[in-house]
Structure 1
Amino acid sequence: MSLRPEEWPEVPEATARVARAVAGRGAPPLTMRVRDELGELFADAEFVEAFGRRGRRGWSPGRLAMVTVLQMAENLSDRAAVQRVRFDLSWKYCLELEDVGFDASVLSEFRTRVAGHGLEERVLDLLVAALKEKGLVKAGGKQRTDSTHVLAAVRELNRLELAGETVRAALEALSAAAPTWVAQVLEVGEWNRRYGRRIDAYWRPPGSQTQRDRLAVDYGRDAVALLRAVYHPASPVWLRELPAIQTLRQITVQNYLITTDSNGAEVVKRREADKDGLPPGRIRLTSPYDLDARYGTKEDLHWTGYKLHISEVCRPPRPDDGAPRPGRRARPALPNVITHVATTDATVPDVKLVEPIHQALAGRDLLPAEHYLDSGYASAELIVGARATFGITLVTPLLTGTSRQYRENAGYQREAFAIDWDARQATCPQGATSRFWSPAKQKGRDVVVVRFDQADCGPCPVRAACTNATRWGRQLTLRPRALHEIIHANHTAQQDQAWQAKYALRAGVEGTIRQAISVTGSRRARYRGLAKTHLEHVYSAVALNLIRLDAWWNDQPLDHTRTSHLARLDLTLAV
């Protein structure tokens, strides 16, 4: 497919006249407002590297990008979006169309090309640049970030189902690519009896654990037999390069071992986590159909898929300059624009995203002065690094310790001890001084281990509130002095009502995540693979921005959280 960049034509006069007549005196639809306010937002030239210079001429990628954004705004399928392009007058007005549109497969090909050339974020870059020119977003100010889980566009499989479905997927790929080879090498009837249907279709696992274990071993033996047939010297070499075969090989290695019994016979056995070990979650495949999805856990939540991180501009509900607060239903001074979207697999902790987010915002010249985050993103090192590298103040609560005193919120916590860094000594609340001070490394971090003498802690009347150790006295683990002072100041500030009121601004991002889930369906991925899932999230973010801009242009105030009568009564009684 080739591309010859060209400017979007003017809206056909007949289309404009009819569209405005239909809109009447009320607010025009979002699609018409976007065209009037932002014009040719996505130029064809911005996507030229994803298309060749030869071949049949393709549909305008700039307008395909706009179609995809509008598709996300209304949570439409590809076919439904194409129908809108063909028959919806407001869409034709936005896209400046007089023709009948295109086939639904064009959208899929467009996404593949954009994701394959790393252009997923181009539409957000273009929108942000246009808004900067209009003065609707700028560097400085406040931004907030939060994450949510995203379910992969595949069924969640347990280890037994994964083993069987991976063999079936490999057989399907081989049967499509080399049917003659399959007929010559395999007993097709027997393999079809076991793998003719998807493992998760009309299938129930055996009732007893013994039967399930036997079936798991059978799947492993079939996988090994199939791989040996493919890698046999007489088999075509190119069969090994089929993605489904590579996936089968990797999933077989992560779930099975080949050993020998006491008679020297070969045995295929299932890996046991406590004996043989399993690959870490960050590299362990969870589906033969989405190789980027991972199994994630957050407290009592478990899922297979990804994480979505959203950063947006935010402003306090009341002016900082003491000016009177606008009416409850007043339009905000500027819209809260989503400035960045990141997508990771489910195993990546939030704290790993802070620096990449700041680098991305720096690339868009949208670094905030204050960045509001929850404790999952926070560390003392990041607070120091963000200030030194980007000039950003992280407004975030640092987690407290993990000792018994912190868990029970009782006894003498670390803050109860006086630390004399110059004398390299700690003093407990009872006046005893430490006898041991040693710099060390724990989990790759610099720490200082401080220990009190058993002779001081043993007869102490409040020992039970301080330590349960019997062989030695109380032990403290401190960070280096600069980080320790930051942690101490942060924990102290968290108790201040003014800090708590300021930090309440972060909670608004929860509403943005809720909007992404309810409007664009971001809870479950539409597509498979990290690149296309990220593309979906970026285009969804652009769609949400256009929805917010449309409301702002139409002087529509922000919605307020609804409180039930029962909740109000409960609050009244509590006071």
Structure 2
Amino acid sequence: MHYTETCEEQRPEIVVHVATTIAPVQDGQLTGQIHDDLAQTALTPAEHLVDAAYITPAHVQRAQQVHGITLLAPIVADPSRQAQSGEGFGKSAFTIDWDLQQATCPRGKTSTQPGTLRINGHEYLQFRFAKADCLACPDRHPCTASATRPRSIALLPQPLHEIQVRNRLDQQTEEWQRRYAVRAGIEATLSQTVRSNGLRRTRYRGLAKTHVQHVLTNLACNLTRTADWIAETPRGRIRSSRFHTLHRSGRMTPEDHQQSHGIASRPQLRPKTSAPSSRRTTSPVPSVRRPRPGCSRFSTPPESRASMSDGYSLRPLGEVMRLDLQQPFAWPGS
């Protein structure tokens, strides 16, 4: 399922488009369809923040030319060995003369007439350098891994190449990252529909019926969010994972750890007296505690544990009663 929601300030996040496909369909195949559907319902956005799987230079170009949409997502970095290792000359080190259809390497050598190449369904221009120039180059080893062949680079056509280069530079800036950080809210929508509305499983057979379920599920999500926005219900806090909580707890005092998790302070236990006890002196039965549904485990000492979880009020473990073989059992506080 692919869905699109609004992300305007001071307004609720509303799902405005839902697309249902079979599993083998790639995310990038839906980008154009989503924009066309939004345009038909007069919901075309000025800026569309998407996952990296939904964007290519061709998608950026089409969204801007056809619908006037600024498509924002990180474009995959240069996958060449030179760019990944930081050694040698990546594609960005070559100067391209689009009028003459030539590429100039950092050593000043020019390429021959480019040919066409098709990679993953996209048309590329392949700039190949002369074999004699590459064999005599002192930087041949960091430039190419081939022992006999000259260096060649494959680039997208000029409009798409310029979009690719510009986006790769922009996505390294703090301003771009701050704009793109808004997209993280869509993950909360996914979590809400899965955890609260059972979106993980379909109740029907067939793509058309499943799509209806997806639409109704997101409609219920919209109604809930709109009602919360009208009632000015405060949003829940961001929860930390158990691993993150455990990592933080290693650098915190027990008091700070209890406050960060909303753990109540442990009441003082009654001091032990030397007076003889009226209870039997036989070995006690192991202590019995209330069930703790959904309660996390903490690294604080057992005798100081007390928490609140899912609406259940839990006593400190030091106050849990032990069974008395001569008296009927009763839960603490009952």
TM over 0.5: yes
Asked which structure has the greater RCO (Cα within 8 Å, sep 6+), the reply is 1
The two structures have a TM-score, normalised by structure 2, of: 0.69
Structure 2 gaps of 5+ residues are 253-334
Decide which of 304, 309, 314 is 2:7's aligned counterpart. Answer: 314
Q: Residue in 1 aligned with 2:44?
A: 367
Q: Contact between 1:448 and 1:479, CA under 8 Å: does it hold in 2?
A: yes
Q: Residue in 2 aligned with 1:540?
A: 217
Decide which of 182, 191, 202 is 1:505's aligned counterpart. Answer: 182
Q: Equivalent residues in 2 for 1:141-290 (5 A)?
A: none
Decide which of 422, 430, 443 is 2:107's aligned counterpart. Answer: 430
Which runs of at least 4 in structure 1 moved beyond 6 Å after TM superposition?
569-572
Q: Equivalent residues in 2 for 1:343-382 (5 A)?
A: 343-382=20-59
1:493 aligns with 2:186: no
Query: CA 1:494 to 1:546, structure 2 compared with 1: closer, same or farther past 3 Å?
Result: same
Letter in 1 for 2:156: R
Which secondary structure does the structure 2 equivalent of 1:531 belong to?
Answer: helix
Q: Residue in 2 aligned with 1:480?
A: 157
Alpha-carbon RMSD across the aligned residues, in angstroms, is 2.2
Which secondary structure does the structure 2 equivalent of 1:422 belong to?
Answer: coil
Q: Contact between 1:370 and 1:392, CA under 8 Å: does it hold in 2?
A: yes
Q: Residue in 1 aligned with 2:68?
A: 391
Q: Residue in 1 aligned with 2:226?
A: 549
Query: CA 1:480 to 1:549, structure 2 compared with 1: closer, same or farther past 3 Å?
Result: same
Q: Residue in 1 aligned with 2:265?
A: none
Offset at residue 404 of structure 1 (A):
2.4
Deviations for 1:187-243, whole angstroms, at most 9, x for unmatched residues? xxxxxxxxxxxxxxxxxxxxxxxxxxxxxxxxxxxxxxxxxxxxxxxxxxxxxxxxx
For residues 313 and 519 of structure 1, the distance between their equivalents in structure 2, rounded to whole angstroms, comes to 20
Query: CA 1:456 to 1:514, structure 2 compared with 1: closer, same or farther past 3 Å?
Result: same
Q: Residue in 1 aligned with 2:80?
A: 403
Q: Residue in 2 aligned with 1:459?
A: 136
Offset at residue 432 of structure 1 (A):
2.4
Letter in 2 for 1:309: H
Decide which of 203, 220, 232 is 1:526's aligned counterpart. Answer: 203
Q: Contact between 1:398 and 1:491, CA under 8 Å: does it hold in 2?
A: yes
Letter in 1 for 2:132: A
Q: Contact between 2:135 and 2:148, CA under 8 Å: does it hold in 1?
A: no
Q: Contact between 2:27 and 2:53, CA under 8 Å: does it hold in 1?
A: yes
1:339 aligns with 2:32: no
Q: Contact between 1:310 and 1:513, CA under 8 Å: does it hold in 2?
A: no
The two structures have a TM-score, normalised by structure 1, of: 0.41
Which secondary structure does the structure 1 equivalent of 2:176 belong to?
Answer: helix
Query: CA 1:383 to 1:467, structure 2 compared with 1: closer, same or farther past 3 Å?
Result: same
For residues 528 and 413 of structure 1, the distance between their equivalents in structure 2, rounded to whole angstroms, comes to 50
Offset at residue 470 of structure 1 (A):
2.6
For residues 251 and 60 of structure 2, the distance between their equivalents in structure 1, rounded to whole angstroms, comes to 36
Which secondary structure does the structure 2 equivalent of 1:344 belong to?
Answer: coil
Q: Residue in 2 aligned with 1:29?
A: none
For residues 482 and 366 of structure 1, the distance between their equivalents in structure 2, rounded to whole angstroms, comes to 27
Offset at residue 566 of structure 1 (A):
4.5
Letter in 1 for 2:239: R
Query: CA 1:528 to 1:495, structure 2 compared with 1: closer, same or farther past 3 Å?
Result: same
Q: Contact between 2:28 and 2:55, CA under 8 Å: does it hold in 1?
A: yes
Offset at residue 385 of structure 1 (A):
0.9
Query: CA 1:351 to 1:553, structure 2 compared with 1: closer, same or farther past 3 Å?
Result: same
For residues 248 and 83 of structure 2, the distance between their equivalents in structure 1, rounded to whole angstroms, comes to 33
Which secondary structure does the structure 2 equivalent of 1:539 belong to?
Answer: helix
Q: Contact between 2:103 and 2:110, CA under 8 Å: does it hold in 1?
A: yes
Offset at residue 409 of structure 1 (A):
5.2
For residues 528 and 409 of structure 1, the distance between their equivalents in structure 2, rounded to whole angstroms, comes to 51
Query: CA 1:483 to 1:546, structure 2 compared with 1: closer, same or farther past 3 Å?
Result: same
* Greater share of helix: 1
Q: Residue in 1 aligned with 2:124?
A: 447
Deviations for 1:340-388, whole angstroms, at most 9, x for unmatched residues? 1111000101111111111221222111100001210011111111111
Q: Contact between 2:117 and 2:154, CA under 8 Å: does it hold in 1?
A: no
- Asked which structure has the greater CA Rg, the reply is 2
Q: Contact between 1:338 and 1:545, CA under 8 Å: does it hold in 2?
A: yes
Count of matched residue pairs: 249
